[in-house]
Amino acid sequence: AIQTRRLTMGVADGIVEADGEVIYQVKDMKVALSES
């Protein structure tokens, strides 16, 4: 079977904080967003 889907690429920066401190930081994170 062949499936055709719309795919969108997202790029973002982000941080995760715990108890007011940055515990994880990412720059130019790329994610694929698909619509089913």
Residue-wise pLDDT tens digits, 21-31: 999 999 999 99
Query: pTM here?
Result: 0.49
**How far apart are alpha carbons 30 and 33 in whole angstroms?**
10
User: 2 falls in which pLDDT band (50, 70, 90)?
Assistant: confident
CA angle 11, 12, 17 (to 5 degrees): 150
What are the structure tokens assigned to 19, written together? 């108890």
Identify the residue with better confidence: 32 or 4: 32
Residue-wise pLDDT tens digits, 7-18: 889 999 999 999
Cα 29 off chain centre by: 6
DSSP of 1-36: -----EEEEEEEEEEEEETTEEEEEEEEEEEEEEE-
